[in-house]
Amino acid sequence: MSVTACLNEIIMTFSVNKKDLRAIILMMLLTITTSCTFSSYEPRNKNNICQIFKEQKQWYQSASASRKRWGVPISVAMSIIYYESSFKSDARPPRRTCLFIFPGSRLSSAYGYAQAIDSTWKTYQSATRRYGADRDDFDDAIDFVGWYCHKTAAECGVKKNDAFRQYLAYHEGQKGYLRRSYRRKSWLVKRARQVQKRAVMYARQLNQCERELRRRNSFCIWPF
């Protein structure tokens, strides 16, 4: 069936005149295209922050807004998200096994891009008054990471650009970091160094392309 025939059928079915129908369709298209993103989006090249932001303009806008609000470098926040979820919106911890066969409960309630657990996410929502924030929404997730690193800086004295120590506190919590619980976890210290290394790489890449990203139009325009 052609597009025209399909539209005519809709008009006849729902008794909508053509002018009203065109307005409805236009509003729907604008709603979809202005966001220019889907929560299920996953970058093709996760090793290049410039490529990530060029593919998904809204992500750069969200990352930039989080940096402006919390003072945490984009490179640090993006590196943390990479190692927490690999940029998967619906990421969850693996399940335990029951009798070595049957799937059991998950290791924690962590979910989404930032792998925030239920209780910490609720604290974030309350503290920032973002009660509608969702963990599988990149805009909310990167704002959460900025907020959490800001808290770590205030409570633990860790510099916001110190990806290594920020990640230790992100994983262990501020109290755990102050108790130095990470000292008993060599794998975590190794992971934190990987976070630091990737943050340096992302910062170097972003330094080369951010001017171009800023020049790009903030909104996607549907090609009518």
Q: Answer whether residue 149 is part of any domain.
A: yes
CA distance 150 to 80: 14
29 and 48 part of one domain: no
Which pLDDT band holds residue 113 (cuts at 50, 70, 90)?
very high
CATH number of 205's domain = 1.10.530
17 and 54 part of one domain: no
Contacts for 122 with CB less than 8 Å, ≥ 6 apart: none
Average pLDDT over residues 40-60: 92
CB-based burial of residue 220 (10 Å sphere; 0-12 exposed, 13-18 middle, 19+ buried)? middle
Q: Answer whether residue 221 is part of any domain.
A: no
Beta strand segments in 31-178, E:
95-98, 102-106
**Beta bridge pairs of residue 103:** 97
Q: How many CB atoms lie within 10 A of CB 81?
A: 23
92 and 165 part of one domain: yes
- Per residue in 180-218, pLDDT tens? 999 999 999 999 999 999 999 999 999 999 999 998 745
CB of 108 closer than 8 Å to CB of 34:
no
Q: Answer whether residue 223 is part of any domain.
A: no
Q: Answer whether residue 140 is part of any domain.
A: yes
Contacts for 141 with CB less than 8 Å, ≥ 6 apart: 81, 112, 113, 114, 116, 135
Q: Which amino acid is at 93?
A: P
Q: What are phi and psi of 160, to 5 degrees?
A: -70, -20
Structurally, how many domains does the chain consist of?
2
- Per residue in 84-108, pLDDT tens? 999 999 887 654 444 444 444 434 7
Residue 25 belongs to domain spanning: 1-35
92 and 141 part of one domain: yes
